[in-house]
Structure 1
Amino acid sequence: MFASAPSAPTIGLILGAWLVLAVRLNGFHATAFDRRFNIGLGTVAAAATIRIPVMQAALAASTGWGIPEGLLCQFGAAAAANFGAAAALRMWQTATYRGLSVTLTYGLASASTVGAMIGAAATDPGDPRAIDDQTGWAQFGYWACIVPMNYWMAIAGLSVCLREGRRLTDRRERVLHLMVAVLIGTAAIGIGIMFAGSLLRATDHPNSLTSSVDSTGFTIQLLSFVGVGAVPVLAALPSRIGLDTWSRRRKQLLPLWTELTNACPEVVHHTVGSPGGSRYLLHRTVIEIRDCALILARYGRTSHGAITIAIARAAPAGPDRDALHVAVRLADACAARAGGDQPAGTGTITLPATSNLRDEADELAAIAQQWSVANALLAAPGAKPESAV
């Protein structure tokens, strides 16, 4: 990657890396782990872009320094390998709460990259082949300056993934850690074969296996970063577009929440900054509906026989009738408060009590479903409740 024009899948992978990075910079930067991963992904994506022949020609022409395009290609590979490994090391150090300082970590990456470029510059400038195909000890020195940082990163990453995977009890979290461990192991094996291939070429013993791995090794590294970075993005996507369970449940409550908070605007909590996840938003919506019910209970009135009979006719006995009865009392109290009526007493409007958020949202959704029926019943002649609680 890329001695010649890159293939369409490779171009797609590079574009995908930039897309994942853009999404992560917008919504995945709250923790040190996320920020360090974004640095690593950006480094690898930039280095992959530099290795495209068209980009190399553009950079060489724009700088006017006369830097050979092949050297720019090797710089992209070395920088991606070493600085990507440094960023990954910082991530693993975040997980273990220990490690080298940022200056020392990136200083070692810089020194390794400089050493690799010395090896690249020492290769035959007249050789049209990429360094992946060249022979001699100079190209071996290039790879020797890339391997240490990457194996340090791989060992640290595998240690963290395996240790955390054994500790976790959630199956999905354990599978995620296993996936990351597999990606790290795959990248480490690829780099090892690339290093072995450089040794074979230095001793004039190249073979088809090492040549094929050399040509795809950098792609494997980029794919590893994109794959790991895309997992949390894809996991959060349903919540971001409102298709997860909590978002769907909240949508069912929003019409009821809107009616109640219009009558009791003081209960609405105006969040400063990030509003939180979909589960938090549903929890807050449920709390605000309950707060409205506490306020509106003072405006509640006793239902007379006509409205009671209308409720019995509108809904069969059971949960639907119970929900409609609560909806009628809430709707009547909303109208009373919005119309400027004074509190009629210290009554209560009892909302269903449950043991978890999912069941509570379902109970309130049943009331929301009866809201239009409740308003229709209250609008009927002679249906208005008449006495204070």
Structure 2
Amino acid sequence: MTPPVPSWIAAPVLGFAFVVAVARWILVRESAINRLVNRMLSWQVAAGAVFEAGHGSQFADATYRLFLGCGVITVACAYGISALFAGADPATARRRQRGYDAIAAVCAVIVMIIGRPADPAQPSFEWKVPLLWAIFNIPTTILAVNIIRASLRDLRVSTATLRERFVFSALFLVAVYCLYCAVSAAVHVLRGQPSDSPPTTWTQASCFSFFVISALLALPVVNTVLARVGWDRTGRDHRKLFPLWRDLTAAVPGIVLDQGTARLGSEPRLYRRLIEIQDAVQHLKQYMPPGDQRSVDGYAVRLAQAAENKLRGCAPVVAAQERGEPVVRDRAAELDDLLRLARAWPAARAAASAGALAR
């Protein structure tokens, strides 16, 4: 049997999960599934804290019963999440979860009344242990299978990023562990032996699985914080485009959208910057001197010259070969092109300014 986890390990894990739960309730609660995940984590933290607080004390039996009740609610939340992973309709998630919660409330009362199974020699042991196993492990088995299937499905997607594959792999391993625990407990129950499900102590594997789940749930918190301070990839791209946007919109101020950006997220702000740069480029093409536009550096110099011409009040170039209907492209390709142009922009702007001074 796996030995229990020492308090000096369990306490930091619970503390970390508590911080993640609080942060998620503050920063990651915009969707129904996120709120359901937050509920699940909160109930799991409460269950672990109650167990640790009463373990080895005169209140151990009472706290263990509360631990069981919290555990049932946690399983109900996890079941609802796994149903969404398996493809259940999100539009009916709230109504469906109310049904799960109602069943879980009844089961929580039952397990708190039963408490810790008594001596195997007593007659009540024969029905208490199978009942406890069924309440905890039938839904656990189903949700584990749902998560395993969903993880394997998402791992087979060719466009999945390395980070997504890591998350799906971690979820897969945790689900496999949960399935193993449920099946192992079932074998003990069928043999008439004492079962560790529900567990009477934390185990090292369970504690590690809980830490992995908490760490995975912390990733959206980190992403949200990075986005708010502008340190995510979108924020970095937004800052890289700023010198190009500043100089082009200075030459064509009329294309700047008359909307505040303080309330916009990083994605809308980046998209707005892309649109304004593209509009400025289209307008400045009529001031662009002719030349080869296959080179990014050369095109950047000509665009900088066009901006200088516009600012100096020069007349548009009559025979501008590049004018015409814009080519429709996806946003990712447009962003890549503009980022390359932004990297070449400082040198191009300096060259255009030097040419203007020479004239």
TM-score (norm 1): 0.66
Are 2:238 and 1:250 equivalent residues in the alignment?
yes
Once the two structures are TM-superposed, the CA of residue 366 in structure 1 deviates from its matched residue by: 1.3
What residue is the counterpart of 1:93 in the other structure? 83
Matches within 5 A, 1:231-310: 231-232=219-220, 242=230, 246-263=234-251, 264=253, 266-268=255-257, 270=260, 274-277=264-267, 281-296=269-284, 300=287
- Between the aligned residues of both structures, percent identity stands at 18
What residue is the counterpart of 2:172 in the other structure? 181
User: What SS does the corresponding residue of 1:51 show, helix, strand or coil?
Assistant: helix
Matched letter for residue 43 of structure 1:
W
Q: Which digits, 9 at most, give the CA deviation of each residue in 1:56-107, with x for residues without a partner?
A: 99xxxxxxxxxx6324532453234322221122122223225872222011
Query: Number of matched residues?
Result: 333
Are 2:352 and 1:374 equivalent residues in the alignment?
yes
Matched letter for residue 32 of structure 2:
A
Are 2:154 and 1:154 equivalent residues in the alignment?
no
Residue 107 of structure 1, aligned match among 102, 109, 112 = 102
Residue 59 of structure 2, aligned match among 63, 69, 73 = 69
Alpha carbons of 1:294 and 1:206: their partners in 2 closer, same or farther (altered >3 Å)? Answer: closer
User: What SS does the corresponding residue of 2:67 show, helix, strand or coil?
Assistant: helix
What residue is the counterpart of 1:360 in the other structure? 338
Are 2:313 and 1:326 equivalent residues in the alignment?
no
Matches within 5 A, 1:125-164: 137=125, 140=129, 142=132, 145-164=135-154
- Gapped regions of structure 1 (runs ≥ 5): 58-67, 125-135, 309-317, 384-389
Once the two structures are TM-superposed, the CA of residue 53 in structure 1 deviates from its matched residue by: 1.9
RMSD: 4.6
Does the CA contact (< 8 Å) of 2:238 and 2:273 recur in 1? yes
Once the two structures are TM-superposed, the CA of residue 49 in structure 1 deviates from its matched residue by: 2.3
Alpha carbons of 1:175 and 1:6: their partners in 2 closer, same or farther (altered >3 Å)? Answer: closer
Q: Distance in 2 between the 1:206 and 1:112 partners?
A: 18
What residue is the counterpart of 1:386 in the other structure? none
User: What SS does the corresponding residue of 1:169 show, helix, strand or coil?
Assistant: coil
Q: Distance in 2 between the 1:45 and 1:120 partners?
A: 20
Does the CA contact (< 8 Å) of 1:51 and 1:77 recur in 2? yes
Does the CA contact (< 8 Å) of 1:158 and 1:181 recur in 2? yes
What residue is the counterpart of 1:118 in the other structure? 113
Residue 211 of structure 2, aligned match among 220, 223, 235 = 223
Does the CA contact (< 8 Å) of 1:5 and 1:52 recur in 2? no
What residue is the counterpart of 1:15 in the other structure? 15
- Gapped regions of structure 2 (runs ≥ 5): none
What residue is the counterpart of 1:61 in the other structure? none
Does the CA contact (< 8 Å) of 1:78 and 1:146 recur in 2? no
Q: Distance in 1 between the 2:200 and 2:135 partners?
A: 21
TM-score (norm 2): 0.71
Once the two structures are TM-superposed, the CA of residue 213 in structure 1 deviates from its matched residue by: 7.8
